[in-house]
Amino acid sequence: MLARGVKRCSAPAPAHAAAPSCRRPPRRRPVDGHAHPATLWNSHGSSRRSYGLTAHPSCFGASRRAGSGPRPGCRRATSTPKAPPFPAGGRRSFSSSIPGTTVPLMASAVGPAAAAAAAAAAATATVTAATAPALLAPFVDELDRIAPCVRIHGSQVRILETPAEFYETLKTMIRTAERRIFLSTLYIGKSEHELIATLRDALRAKPALKLYILTDALRGTREAPRPSSASLLAPLVADFGPDRVELRMYHTPNLTGVRKKYIPRRINEGWGLQHMKLYGADDRILLSGANLSTDYFTNRQDRYHLFSSAALTDAYWRLHRGVASLSFLVQPRADAGNGSGADDNDNHPGFDMVWPASNPAPSPLHDPQAFVAGATGVLRGLLAPPTQRSANDDARTDHPAAAAPPDTAVYVLAQMTQLLQQPNSSTEWPAVTHVLRTLARPAYADASWTFTAGYFNPAPALTQMLLATACARGNVVVTAAPEANGFFGSKGVSGMLPDAYTLLARRFLRAVDAQGRGGCITLKEWRRNDNDDNDNNDEKAGGAVATRPPGRGNWTYHAKGLWVTLPRETGPALTLVGSSNYTQRSYALDLEANALVVTRNAALQARLADETRWLQAAHARAVTQADFARPERRVRLHVRLAMWIVQLVGGAL
């Protein structure tokens, strides 16, 4: 039976035909107070089927017309009404544990028609594992309400393994780009002349090509007036002009006045950074946690997922452009004076940082509150799922796999807390917490997960949710051993960070044992030294700490993410990949961009399983409380004191 007011549509169209028209169901008032139709409309005026769901359709469906791809952030109608296994649900507000934030989470409030559609879908969907649709549904019905989603085929995802492969792939993307290159990163290494030469050669060879770069202002100018990211990049603007090269640097509104004047440069980044890692070229987007400097190209292990999808690339491109419009413009010194709003100490030999009058908000250094108000207006429309915003863009998927039925959903997640007025409309926190809360249900007792973070300091609420999961087999947490921490051997206060993360890992392990989860959650430390033939010896397996600083043979660990494997399956069906470290700082201070991938593609699941294996196989070793009790692992008092001071003055690790 159809919901009241919904007219029955014509018979399902073939997979490569345009979706049949159907009358719009009644308008429904969402939580933001604005009415919107449940049916999504394309640019040609025809409707797309909602399958009688009075909320909005699932992210899994079929294309609108032959050769077309998904609209950015939108769900397309599937080729048969019984295929989508992911019903819609209601929503409620959830007060997170992040101070001062309210994030949208969902409560199951599925109407009779939606429930019937969900039951039919679960009964008739065909996937590798017979129970997969029913087990995926509790994840996806809520994720559809939290964040924009793009549907692709699993073959459109390539998982890279090594830093060298990441670097070569990035250079290939730059060399083959025809229209646009956009790079969002924390910083570009001040000595990355080969990367800059690759960009320069591409711009010179292709006059229509445009380059857009976004970095963090604090990190990108840390070394100024000595060589820095800004001084390395500014000549590109001089050589090719501001119409072809745009260089932007984001500055947090949390560090102004006295704080900005007196807090040391290597410490001030604890008040918020542009931390997104988005590497796009034409219709491909590479998501990672890696920055663009020599160590990330050689011996700092991270994760790297390359997506070939115009619609998905466009979604992250809009996110890049939104933050860039709220950032300083970097100009070569000879071209200074075209904007306004920069402080004198933001002008350096070789480049100027100016605040263009065209930016939609005042400078964060002059009026932080007005800056946040303006930023909220820019970003809320980019973060919302399509049922809460207008979605008129007609996107495409140009990958050859577009001819195959989509079997993978990619949710575009972003955490922008410092740029948003209440209620906080960031999407990463509600998505991650929803996944973990779902894993606490008894039905997932035979599921398993792997969580990794190079800087191990999960937000306290996430720690509790990891401990509360019902998963009882093979759950693993992987973090960097002290000598594999990027700050190991650093001078000054930053040199204390490896010990600080050791203390936090020790506290996590205590909580695991205190809650009786020691049998199902294993903590592993990652370390790699290519110069040591005895890398796998018993002493290192027990967690002993190297005394030498990182060298050419010593690797550091920077990977972060989550993999979830459903009961009776061997490969993850869900994974989180991107820039977030899943810390209190990530959710309260930094700007983060991630993807939550949900797949029914067996080959992609196998590749995700391989990824978890190669990250752990030769270099990750289990540690226990006995290992942390060793004299060389004890954390000194001054480290604990420094952690307390940073928190006291409003910073975060």
The pLDDT value recorded for residue 79 is: 34
What residues have CB less than 8 Å from 648, skipping those under 6 apart?
none
CB atoms within 10 A of CB 277: 25
| Sign of the CA dihedral running 457, 462, 464, 469 | negative
Q: How confident is the model at residue 103 (pLDDT cuts 50, 70, 90)?
A: very low
What 8-state DSSP symbol labels residue 213? E
Is residue 60 within 8 Å of residue 85, measured between CB atoms?
yes
Q: Give tens-digit pLDDT for 562-621.
A: 999 999 999 999 999 999 999 988 999 999 999 999 999 999 999 999 999 999 988 999
Q: Give tens-digit pLDDT for 185-205.
A: 999 999 999 999 999 999 999
CB atoms within 10 A of CB 85: 25
pTM, whole model, 2 decimals? 0.77
The pLDDT value recorded for residue 531 is: 73
Q: Report whether pLDDT(184) > 80.
A: yes
Percent of the chain with pLDDT over 70: 67
Write out the two tokens for 503: 């203390």
Q: Give tens-digit pLDDT for 295-324.
A: 999 999 999 999 999 999 999 999 999 999
Average pLDDT over residues 39-61: 34
Strands (E), 309-434: 328-332, 347-348, 351-354, 408-415
Q: How confident is the model at residue 632 (pLDDT cuts 50, 70, 90)?
A: confident
Phi, psi of 562 (to 5 degrees): -140, 135
Q: Give tens-digit pLDDT for 322-334.
A: 999 999 999 998 6
Average pLDDT over residues 547-556: 61
Q: Report whether pLDDT(118) > 70.
A: no
Higher pLDDT, 585 or 150: 150
Most confident of 22-36, 150-164, 337-351, 638-652: 150-164
The pLDDT value recorded for residue 610 is: 98
For 159, counting Cβ atoms within 10 Å of its Cβ (0-12 exposed, 13-18 middle, 19+ buried), the class is: middle
Alpha-carbon distance 407 to 508, whole Å?
36
Q: How confident is the model at residue 378 (pLDDT cuts 50, 70, 90)?
A: very high
Alpha-carbon distance 117 to 138, whole Å?
14
Phi, psi of 410 (to 5 degrees): -120, 115
Q: Give tens-digit pLDDT for 442-456.
A: 999 999 999 999 888
The pLDDT value recorded for residue 453 is: 94
Across the strands, what pairs with 561? 452
10-24, 141-155, 239-253, 575-589: segment of lowest average pLDDT: 10-24
- 241's torsion region: left (phi>0), alpha (psi -120 to 50) or beta? left
Strands (E), 403-526: 408-415, 448-453, 475-480, 521-526
Q: Residue holding tokens 């006059």?
A: 207
Distances, alpha carbon 52 to alpha carbons 4, 21, 621, in Å: 9, 13, 51
- 239's torsion region: left (phi>0), alpha (psi -120 to 50) or beta? alpha
Higher pLDDT, 618 or 99: 618
Alpha-carbon distance 417 to 587, whole Å?
7
Secondary structure of residue 210 in the 3-state scheme: strand
Q: Report whether pLDDT(36) > 70.
A: no
Q: Report whether pLDDT(527) > 50.
A: yes
Query: What does the mean pLDDT of the chain come to?
Result: 77
Q: Residue holding tokens 């992987």?
A: 478
Q: Give tens-digit pLDDT for 408-446.
A: 999 999 999 999 999 999 999 999 999 999 999 999 999
Secondary structure of residue 36 in the 3-state scheme: strand
312-345 in b/e form (b: 16+ CB < 10 A) is bbbbbbbbbbbbbbbbbbbbbeeeeeebebbeee
Mind giving me the DSSP string for 571-603?
S-SEEEEES---BHHHHHTSBEEEEEEEE--HH
HSE value, Cβ hemisphere, 13 Å, CA-based, for 579 = 27
Alpha-carbon distance 575 to 552, whole Å?
31
Alpha-carbon distance 545 to 561, whole Å?
25
Closest to 94 in 3D by CA, of 413, 424, 385, 383: 424
Is residue 433 within 8 Å of residue 462, measured between CB atoms?
yes
Domain architecture of the chain: domains with CATH: 157-367 (3.30.870.10), 423-648 (3.30.870.10)
Catalytic residue ranges: 275, 277, 282
Q: How confident is the model at residue 546 (pLDDT cuts 50, 70, 90)?
A: very low
Kind of pairing between the strands at 574-578 and 560-565: antiparallel
30-44, 468-482, 542-556: segment of lowest average pLDDT: 30-44
